[in-house]
Amino acid sequence: MAQGDIGPAARLVAGDPAILPSENFGVLRLRRQIINPYTYAGILLTSRMDTDGGYNRAYGLDGIFRLFGDDYLTVNWAQTFDREQAKPDPVLNHAMLRLNW
Per-residue pLDDT, averaged over 22-26, amounts to 82
Question: Which pLDDT belongs to residue 11?
Answer: 61
User: Rounded CA gap, 85 and 94, in Å?
Assistant: 10
User: Rounded CA gap, 42 and 44, in Å?
Assistant: 7
Could you tell me the maximum CA-CA distance found in the chain, to the nearest angstrom? 59
- State yes or no: pLDDT of 14 exceeds 70: no
- State yes or no: pLDDT of 13 exceeds 80: no
Mean pLDDT computed over every residue of the chain: 81
Per-residue pLDDT, averaged over 46-64, amounts to 89
Question: Which pLDDT belongs to residue 42?
Answer: 95
